[in-house]
Amino acid sequence: MPKKNQTLGEFIIENQSDFPYSSGELSRLINSIRLAAKVVNHEVNKAGLVDIIGAYGETNVQGEDQQKLDVYANNKFIQTLTNREIVCGIASEENDDFIQIEGHKGDHQNKYVVLMDPLDGSSNIDVNVSVGTIFSIYRRVTPMGTPVQLEDFLQPGNRQVAAGYIIYGTSTMLVYTTGHGVNGFTLNPALGSWYLSHPDMKFPENGQIYSINEGNYVHFPQGVKDYIKYCQEEKGDRPYTSRYIGSMVSDIHRNMIKGGIFMYPKSSKASDGKLRLLYECNPMAYLTEQAGGKASDGFKRILDIKPTELHQRVPFFCGSKKMVEKAEEFMKKAEYGSQSQPFSFSSK
C-alpha cells in the first residue's frame, strides 16, 4: 500500500521494481512530466496578470481555435521531454503530425513514445475554471535504432505502459498509473514538491453524478437521451445530480472521487464523437479501469479499439462501473432492440 505524504520522487524509486525491463527510463520520463507540469502550473496561475489568456490567433489540426496557453503548454512539454532525451517520439493534439526525436548520438535508442493533450479545457482558462494536461505512454513497436514511425503511436490503449493527468485547480495534482493502481500527488507550491495525497484511488462502483453537455440534447442518439431521462427520473436513488464543468480532466477527477459517469457521445453535429482516442480517451480509459471503473464508446471497450489515425475521434463514456453499464444498456436497446418495449417513466 502506498505511504501517504511520501514524495513523488520517493514513490517512483520505491516502485521501479514494477518495471524490470525499463532500466529507469520510465521513471525518468515520469520525472520529466512532473517538471513540465510545475512550469505550466506556474504560468496557468499567472493568467490575468500577464498576457497569457485568450486566443493565439491560429487553429490546430482539429480546426479549433488555439489558446495562448495551449501553445505554451504544448511547447513546454515537448521541450522538456526532448531535452531529457528519454523518448523517441511525441504526438500532441496540437500538432498535425508526430515528432521524431533522436538520441544525443542520433542513435534512436529510446524506448518510449508519449501522446498528450497539453492543456485540456483551455477555453475555460480566462474564467478561472480548472484545466488539465493528459498524457499517455507506450513502448515503441518498431526496432530500436531506427526512427520512430506512425505505427508506434497507433497502438490500442490496452498496450499503454503508463497514463495520467495533471489538474490545475484549487490545488495542482498529478494523477497517474503504471498498471498497478492509480495514485494522486498534490503539489506543495512553497516547496515545489509533489506529495502522495490520494493513494490507491478508486471509482465508487456506483454514483449519483452524471456529466454531459445537455445543451446538445437534441443532437444526441436516442440511447443517450433515454439514459439522461433515466438519470432524471424520481425513483429509488434518483434523480441523479447533473454536474458538467466542460473540462474533461476536472469532470472525471470529481467523478472518480465522488462516483459518477462522464459522457461525450457522438451526435448529429459530430458523427464520430468529439474527443480524441489517442490523446484523451485512451489515457482516461486506462486510468478509469485501473481505478475500478469502466470506459466504453457506448458499445465496446475503449482500450480495445485499434486506432487508424493520429487524431481519430470516438464517443466516450467513462466512470463508475454500474453507471457505464446502465448507459450501455440504453445505447444497445435503442440501437438493436426495435422489438423491445420502449423505455417508460414512472407517473410520479
The Cα 316–Cα 297 span in angstroms is: 5
How far out from the chain centre does Cα 257 lie?
Answer: 15
Q: Is 126 annotated as a binding residue?
A: no
Q: Is 247 annotated as a binding residue?
A: no
Local structure of 98: helix, strand or coil: coil
Cell of 160: 499503454
Q: Is 192 annotated as a binding residue?
A: no
Q: Is 234 annotated as a binding residue?
A: no
Cell of 273: 464523437
Q: Is 244 annotated as a binding residue?
A: yes
Q: Is 229 annotated as a binding residue?
A: no
For residue 262, the surrounding DSSP H or E stretch is strand 261-264
The Cα 157–Cα 136 span in angstroms is: 9
- Reduced DSSP (H G I as helix, E B as strand, rest coil) percent helix, strand, coil of the chain, to 5: 35, 25, 40
DSSP letters for 163-226: EEEEEESSSEEEEEESSS-EEEEEEETTTTEEEEEETT----SS-SEEE--GGGGGGS-HHHHH
Residues in the chain: 348
Q: Is 258 annotated as a binding residue?
A: no
**479499439: which residue's cell?**
305
Q: Is 93 annotated as a binding residue?
A: yes
The Cα 40–Cα 36 span in angstroms is: 6
Pick from 331, 37, 321, 10: nearest CA to 173: 37
Complete edge-to-edge strand list for the sheet that includes strand 294-296 = 241-242, 209-211, 261-264, 316-319, 294-296
Q: Is 119 annotated as a binding residue?
A: yes
Residue numbers belonging to the annotated binding site: 93, 117, 119-123, 213, 244, 274, 280
Query: Binding site for substrate: what residues are annotated?
Result: 120-123, 213, 244, 274
Binding-site members for Mg(2+) are 93, 117, 119-120, 280
